[in-house]
Amino acid sequence: MEPYRCTVTADPARNVIFMTQEGHAERADMLGLRDAYRAALAQVRPGFVLVNDQSAIRSFSDDALEVGTELVSLTTTHGASKVIRVVPQSLSQRARISRVLASGNLRYENVRVSTRAEADALLAGMDSAGAA
């Protein structure tokens, strides 16, 4: 299986967190992602946007998905206004991720797009609307 890699960066000026995930995720991988996400959350304000690019994720173990529910809870607790998800092409993974989201009592807008370019265009539109 392809090893897991992730990046999490915050853009405090735009109030945006960018997350990218690749490969196969086990519980330990997701715990590392959670810690990086917590650090990024400390840099943004309520109303932030999360762009989560999962287009290169191959699979999640069941234990990894359990940590995913905690990530959803952190997102809600810290007051996200929107999550833009770039979803994997695999229908089975998309269904599993959707079940995690459904269990999270979301209080933010959840948008699913097919490419990072679509996510960037949504963000650009939000930036220009905020500047107007």
Domains of the chain, start order: 5-117 (3.30.750.24)
**Residue at token pair 């287009």:** 55
How far is residue 31's CA from residue 115's CA, in Å, rounded to a whole number?
26
Degrees, nearest 5: CA angle 111-63-116: 25
Structure tokens at 120: 């960037």
Q: How high is the pLDDT of residue 91?
A: 43
pLDDT average per 10 residues of sequence, the chain (132 residues): 94 97 95 98 97 91 89 93 83 55 68 90 81 52
pLDDT at residue 100, rounded to an integer: 59
CA dist 22 and 55 (Å) reads 8
Q: Which two tokens stand for residue 19?
A: 């997350």
